[in-house]
């Protein structure tokens, strides 16, 4: 049932703009890694093409939708034929098919409810915009089940995963002071990191790292993928970090000067290999954790390419012996970033992209299209200290861990000076396909000021709760 409280917020002209912003921004993000002012503001042209064979010509469908719309005020501006046109155009765009008329009508009504939510939000002043995507025919609960978004990563309960290799603040000494205190007994790996930092600085990868870092703009990230109906976000986050780490290491060994664009340094690696073979702590499509995956990979011989070991959206039998790991794909160690400290995550991102656990169950996040996402409740712990369901990960933790349920890759940070309200953000790579968000990425509100409320120090959507990056060999 569509909430009547949302209806007065809708604009009668909703049909002209509700998806164009997302599509234009998405296309440019895929092509260039950025969004121009014109693409970001072109909200007056619909991306859907009306089909002359619309379901509005079928009386049974039209009557069912009219019944659903009957409770809405006439001033709303909806018409059943037009909603049907929008739905059919959306079906065509995302190649949706339904087995029965009943199923199609059920999905149409869900689409309508989501459309109301999207337009209600976009009619208000906000730092981000919602838009339709391939998940527009799913309820919030269905979407969470599809993505296996649950209460916790199961590995959080394992004591071994509470042992961390915390990074020291680079600003407390020098960038070259990445000594063995950063890494668990890995002086050699620390020396490699030190050389990489020095080389990166000499090549001026990021002219103003205090203000902006974006590894995607340097062409050093792997492609955006779609995990589909498999809760293996942990594998996509881990692989994304490893792909970038290998590419950055290749880049750092080349002579200066270099144009980092289109150098072909990124080799897509196999998430499926992790899903099938890293089974000591991970649970395939049922969940996993990036830090425990790094721990497992430290005892393996590297990773195969995605082409040699393709993704199948399910867990299979380990077949790593049937392919050859690529050079440089052995994880020697990993570095963990102290939680709840924006400054330290920014410093880590000057080294390489960082895996992160977050809360992805905010209903608005399903339809994020562009802008800087923020929510007053996303990532705020709901459990109380001392209660049996309160999860403790770190020493001296003074508030329960938020209900983290999704793994992503933080790839940079910056400031959007054209944005209204919050302007500082982290840029994050997701695994829900490139039709979601800003070409598969999203921006998350960032605050460099510590919040006095302990429950609000985990970062927007708990992005500061669990952070790691690999050291490659």
pLDDT for 4 beyond 50: no
> According to the model, what pLDDT value does residue 139 have?
97
> According to the model, what pLDDT value does residue 209 have?
83
User: What is the pLDDT of the chain when averaged over all its residues?
Assistant: 79
HEC secondary structure over the chain: CCCCCCHHHCCCCHHHCCCHHHHHHHHHHHHHCCCCHHHHHCCCCCCCCCCCCCHHHCHHHHHHHHHHHCCCCHHHCCCHHHHHHHHHHHHHHCCCCCCCHHHHHHHHHHHHHHHHHHHHHHCCCCCEEECCCCCCCCCHHHHHHHCCCCCCCHHHHCHHHHCCCECCCHHHCCCCCCCCCCCCCCHHHHHHHHHHHHHHHHHCCCCCCCCCEECHHHCCCCCCCECCCCCCHHHHHHHHHHHHHHHHHHHHHCCCCCCCCCCCCCCCECHHHHHHHCCCCCCHHHCCCHHHHHHHHCCCCCCCECCCCCCCCCCCCCCHHHCCCCCCCCEEEEEEECCCCHHHHHHHHCCCCEEEEECCCCHHHHHEEEEEECCCCCCCCCCCCCCCCCCCCCCCCCCCCCCCCEEEEEEEEEECCCCCCCCEEEEEECCECCCCCECCEEEEECCCCCCCCHHHCCCHHHCCCCEEEEEEC
159 contact partners, CB below 8 Å, separation of at least 6: none
Lowest mean pLDDT among 184-188, 194-198, 358-362: 184-188
pLDDT for 353 beyond 60: yes
| Of the candidates 320, 330, 326, 315, the residue with the CA atom closest to the CA atom of residue 234 | 315
CA diameter of the chain:
73
Sole residue written with tokens 């309820």? 139
Q: What is the CA radius of gyration of the chain?
A: 23
Query: What is the percentage of the chain residues whose pLDDT exceeds 90?
Result: 48
Name the residue with higher pLDDT: 16 or 189: 189
Residue range 197-210: average pLDDT? 65
Which of 26-35, 208-217, 259-268 has the highest mean predicted lDDT (pLDDT)? 208-217
pLDDT for 154 beyond 60: no
Residue range 289-307: average pLDDT? 91
What does the pLDDT look like over 113-144, one tens digit per residue? 999 889 889 989 999 999 999 999 999 999 99
Pinpoint the residues of the chain covered by CATH 3.90.70.10. Answer: 154-472
10: left (phi over 0), alpha (psi -120 to 50) or beta: beta
pLDDT for 305 beyond 90: yes
> According to the model, what pLDDT value does residue 77 have?
63
> According to the model, what pLDDT value does residue 210 have?
84
> According to the model, what pLDDT value does residue 257 have?
52
Residue range 75-89: average pLDDT? 79
Sole residue written with tokens 């980092």? 260
pLDDT for 47 beyond 60: no
Residue range 40-45: average pLDDT? 35
- The pTM (predicted TM-score) of the whole model is 0.81
Write out the catalytic residue numbers.
Answer: 233, 406, 430
> According to the model, what pLDDT value does residue 227 have?
96
Residue range 387-397: average pLDDT? 86
**117, 124, 155, 435 from 9: Cα distances, Å:** 10, 8, 43, 26
What does the pLDDT look like over 306-337, one tens digit per residue? 999 999 999 999 999 999 999 999 999 999 99
Q: Is the domain covering 154-472 a CATH 3.40.50.300 domain?
A: no
């Amino acid at each position: 049932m569509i909430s009547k409280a949302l209806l007065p917020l809708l604009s009668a002209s909703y049909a002209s703009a509700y998806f164009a912003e997302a599509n234009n921004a998405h296309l440019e993000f895929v092509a260039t890694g950025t969004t121009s002012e014109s693409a970001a503001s072109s909200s007056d042209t619909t991306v859907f093409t009306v089909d002359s064979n619309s379901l509005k010509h079928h009386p049974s469908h039209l009557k069912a939708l009219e019944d659903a719309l009957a409770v809405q005020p006439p001033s709303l501006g909806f018409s059943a034929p037009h909603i049907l046109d929008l739905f059919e155009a959306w079906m065509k765009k995302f190649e949706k098919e339904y087995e029965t008329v009943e199923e199609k009508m059920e999905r149409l009504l869900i689409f309508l409810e989501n459309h109301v939510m999207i337009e209600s939000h976009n009619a208000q002043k906000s730092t981000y915009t919602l838009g339709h995507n391939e998940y527009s025919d799913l309820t919030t609960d269905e979407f969470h089940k599809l993505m296996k978004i649950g209460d916790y990563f199961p590995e959080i309960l394992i004591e071994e995963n509470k042992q961390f290799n915390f990074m020291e603040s680079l600003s407390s000494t020098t960038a070259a002071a990445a000594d063995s205190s950063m890494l668990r007994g890995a002086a050699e790996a620390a020396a490699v990191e030190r050389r990489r930092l020095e080389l990166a600085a000499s090549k001026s990868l990021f002219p103003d790292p205090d203000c902006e870092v974006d590894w995607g703009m340097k062409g050093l990230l792997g492609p955006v993928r779609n995990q589909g109906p498999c809760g293996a976000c942990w594998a996509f986050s881990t692989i994304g970090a490893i792909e970038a780490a290998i590419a950055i290491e290749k880049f750092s060994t080349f002579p200066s000067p270099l144009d980092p664009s289109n150098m072909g340094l990124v080799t897509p690696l196999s998430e499926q290999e992790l899903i099938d073979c890293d089974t000591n702590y991970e649970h395939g499509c049922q969940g996993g954790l990036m830090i425990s995956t790094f721990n497992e990979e430290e005892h393996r011989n590297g990773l195969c390419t995605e082409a040699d070991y393709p993704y199948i959206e399910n867990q299979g039998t380990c077949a790593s012996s049937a392919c050859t790991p690529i050079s440089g794909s052995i994880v020697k160690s990993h570095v963990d970033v102290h939680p709840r400290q924006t400054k330290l995550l920014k410093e880590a991102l000057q080294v390489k992209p960082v895996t992160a656990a977050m809360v992805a169950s905010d209903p608005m996040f399903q339809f994020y299209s562009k802008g800087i996402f923020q929510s007053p409740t996303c990532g705020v712990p709901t459990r109380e200290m001392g209660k049996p369901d309160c999860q403790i990960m770190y020493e001296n933790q003074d508030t329960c861990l938020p209900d983290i349920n999704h793994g992503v890759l933080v790839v940079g940070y910056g400031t959007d000076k054209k944005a209204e309200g919050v302007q500082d953000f982290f840029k994050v790579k997701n695994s829900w396909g490139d039709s979601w968000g800003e070409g598969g990425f999203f921006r998350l509100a960032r605050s460099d000021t510590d919040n006095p409320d302990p429950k609000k120090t985990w970062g927007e959507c708990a992005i500061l709760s669990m952070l790691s990056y690999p050291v490659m060999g």
